[in-house]
């Protein structure tokens, strides 16, 4: 702030010095409002620049803080929200599927399907029937114990869901099963 007043004083002195060389009466001819704006806005332009930068910094810090708090809040909501895919859908009665037989069922709703297979030597397994290449529905090939995707000749191992041939590189999502009171339920899709 000292600089401001020095600068103001310097400006005043310079004005006085330049007025000294003028004919008498010229100094008085300065418009009377010459200093009025200084009284109304007594900051030197350099101080004004500092204030602006300080305000910008404050804005950035406050903005970053608000963004951080909002992100943390969303993460918290996501953490406590129940799993959107966790739901129970009855798919078959125990013993209803013969060994090596498969059944397609709606999961998690009518817009998505899973496929339940009673695998020889392993028992019941279920996967999403949506091919991990471009989302065609896969079919169970009982003679080869594989899932076949007819769109681009993709194949998946029925015991693991892993891709065996064709363009798919990711395994079929597993569907977790639960058995209760003689009923088989699909409860959750597990991305892998
Ligand atoms: S969509 Fe299944 S192999 Fe392409």
pTM of structure: 0.59
Residue 149 near ligand 1, beta carbon < 6 Å: yes
Pocket flag, ligand 1, residue 92 (CB < 6 Å): no
Task: Check if 134 has its Cβ closer than 6 Å to any atom of ligand 1.
Answer: yes
Q: Which domains does the chain have, with CATH numbers?
A: 2-80 (no CATH), 89-190 (2.102.10.10)
CB 192 within 8 A of CB 90: no
In this predicted structure, what is the pLDDT of residue 72?
A: 74
Q: Could you tell me the two tokens for 83?
A: 């799993």
- Enumerate residue ranges in the chain where pLDDT < 50: 1-22, 24-27, 81-82, 84-85
* CA 138 to ligand 1: nearest atom: 2
Q: What is the pLDDT of residues 115-153, one digit of tens each?
A: 999 999 999 999 999 999 999 999 999 999 999 999 999
**Using CA positions, which residue lies closest to atom 1 of ligand 1?**
134
């Amino acid at each position: 702030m000292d600089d401001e007043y020095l600068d103001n004083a310097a400006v005043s002195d310079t004005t006085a010095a330049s007025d000294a060389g003028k004919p008498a009466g010229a100094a008085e001819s300065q418009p009377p409002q010459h200093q009025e704006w200084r009284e109304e806005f007594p900051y030197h332009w350099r101080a004004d620049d500092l204030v602006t930068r300080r305000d910008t910094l404050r804005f950035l810090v406050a903005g970053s803080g608000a963004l951080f708090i909002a992100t943390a809040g969303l993460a918290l909501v996501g953490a406590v929200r129940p799993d959107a895919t966790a739901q129970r859908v009855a798919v078959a009665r125990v013993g209803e599927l013969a060994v090596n037989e498969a059944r397609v069922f709606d999961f998690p709703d009518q817009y998505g399907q899973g496929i339940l297979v009673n695998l020889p030597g392993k028992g019941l397994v279920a996967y999403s029937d949506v091919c991990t290449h471009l989302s065609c529905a896969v079919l169970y090939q009982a003679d080869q114990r594989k899932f076949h995707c007819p769109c681009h000749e993709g194949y998946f191992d029925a015991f693991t869901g892993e891709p065996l041939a064709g363009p798919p590189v990711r395994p079929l999502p597993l569907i977790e099963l639960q058995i209760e009171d003689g009923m088989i339920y699909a409860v959750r899709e597990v991305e892998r």
